[in-house]
């Protein structure tokens, strides 16, 4: 259109709008004719423009047919639809790399109604997603910025790196932390990574992972526990990791502004108000106090390991967050 317009202006002194109009009807071969007298040079230019337009149109049709036959156009439309759905997610987890660990993790997340997006460059990801009921998935290299944009990482709660290759997990953690800085995220993303050995766990934590799980070590601990106590069922598995259990466990952080700061545990009467039990307190410096007594002080930034019903834990969270002493204490 630009070349045709300039050609008619230069060759036959067409006004700009006439040149644009003549180029349009010539380029699309609609056959409206000449809107003004055209010289022999202009007619030769018109023939060239018609041939060029027909060639470009034919090539475009060929590309479109090829893309339809290869499934690329359908794939693009499906991905576009998926991106619209993912863009509505908030506080979801982005699970990177598809393997047997991913399948088991997604099952647990689905049972607990936690939204997630699986991202991997595997060409068979769509089939795997249908087989394992992944609601959201993105076919892309997880450590690339385009993958982080497509998975709506800026609104996510965290990232789970499940690659069996240590280098992949390292690259992913570094990319996520860089993404946080470049996009000025209001809160840091919680990164969970998978490591094989103790050295892998240490390296990944130093690089920025918040939590690193060694599947080999966990399996060994589980087998050892079962061998040592074959007649005892696993309490956590029976009561805390199943969706139909009345009990739940959660670690609740005590903010600086909480009324609980510098209060003794027995003074808070948390069991009486929320019907929950504090089975451990982790101080800000990382020290863990199991089964704390009533005289233990609750400090700022400490984490309370609580067990109770989902309703009780919800009440507990609201109690911890308030600045002033709750009214419920008057009736305890």
pLDDT in tens, 11-29: 999 999 999 998 888 877 7
Question: 160 near 215, Cβ under 8 Å?
Answer: no
Domain 90-218 class, CATH top level: alpha beta
Q: What is the pLDDT of residue 332?
A: 62
Half-sphere exposure of 260 toward its Cβ, with a 13 Å CA cutoff?
A: 26
Compute the mean pLDDT over every residue in the chain, rounded to the nearest whole number: 85
List, for residues 77-95, the tens digit of each pLDDT value: 888 999 999 999 999 999 9
Other CB atoms closer than 10 Å to residue 99's CB: what's the count?
Answer: 14
Q: What is the pLDDT of residue 168?
A: 92
Domain range list for the chain: 2-70, 90-218, 245-331
d(CA 111, CA 270): 29
Task: Pick the more confident residue, 216 or 321.
Answer: 321
Q: What is the pLDDT of residue 321?
A: 86
User: Quick one: what percent of the chain has pLDDT higher than 70?
Assistant: 91
Cβ burial of 52 (10 Å; 0-12, 13-18, 19+) is middle
| Predicted confidence (pLDDT) at residue 316 exceeds the cutoff of 60 | yes
| Predicted confidence (pLDDT) at residue 124 exceeds the cutoff of 70 | yes
Distances (CA, A) of 9 to 6, 17, 26, 27, 32: 5, 10, 15, 16, 19
Distances (CA, A) of 195 to 97, 167, 212: 14, 11, 6
d(CA 28, CA 30): 6
Average pLDDT, integer, range 197-215: 86
Question: pTM of the predicted model, to two decimals?
Answer: 0.60
> CATH for 245-331?
3.30.70.1450
The 8-class DSSP code of residue 189 comes to P
CATH topology for 2-70? Helix Hairpins (1.10.287)
């Amino acid at each position: 259109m630009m070349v045709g317009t300039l050609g008619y202006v230069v060759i036959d002194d067409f006004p700009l709008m006439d040149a644009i109009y003549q180029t349009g009807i010539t380029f699309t071969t609609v056959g409206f004719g000449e809107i003004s007298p055209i010289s022999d040079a202009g007619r030769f230019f018109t023939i060239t423009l018609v041939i060029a337009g027909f060639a470009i149109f034919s090539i475009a049709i060929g590309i479109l047919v090829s893309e339809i036959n290869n499934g690329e156009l359908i794939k693009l439309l499906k991905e576009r639809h998926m991106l619209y759905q993912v863009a509505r997610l908030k506080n979801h987890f982005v699970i990177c790399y598809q393997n047997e660990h991913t399948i088991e993790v997604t099952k647990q997340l689905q049972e607990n109604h936690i939204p997630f997006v699986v991202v991997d460059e595997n060409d068979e990801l769509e089939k795997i997603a249908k087989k394992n009921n992944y609601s959201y998935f993105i076919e892309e290299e997880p450590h690339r910025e385009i993958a982080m944009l497509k998975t709506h990482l800026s609104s996510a709660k965290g990232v789970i790196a499940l690659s069996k290759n240590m280098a992949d997990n390292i690259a992913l953690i570094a990319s996520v932390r860089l993404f946080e800085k470049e996009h000025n995220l209001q809160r840091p993303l919680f990164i969970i990574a998978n490591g094989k050995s103790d050295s892998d766990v240490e390296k990944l934590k130093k690089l920025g992972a918040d939590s690193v799980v060694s599947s080999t070590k966990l399996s060994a601990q589980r087998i050892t526990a079962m061998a040592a106590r074959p007649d005892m069922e696993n309490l956590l598995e029976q009561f805390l990791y199943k969706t139909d259990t009345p009990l739940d466990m959660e670690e609740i952080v005590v903010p600086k502004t909480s009324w609980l700061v510098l209060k003794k545990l027995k003074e808070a009467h948390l069991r009486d108000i929320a019907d929950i039990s504090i089975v451990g307190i982790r101080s800000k410096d990382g020290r863990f106090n199991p089964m704390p007594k009533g005289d233990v002080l609750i400090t700022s930034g400490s984490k309370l390991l609580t067990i109770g019903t989902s309703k009780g834990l919800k009440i507990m969270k609201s109690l911890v967050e308030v600045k002033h002493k709750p009214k419920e204490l008057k009736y305890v």
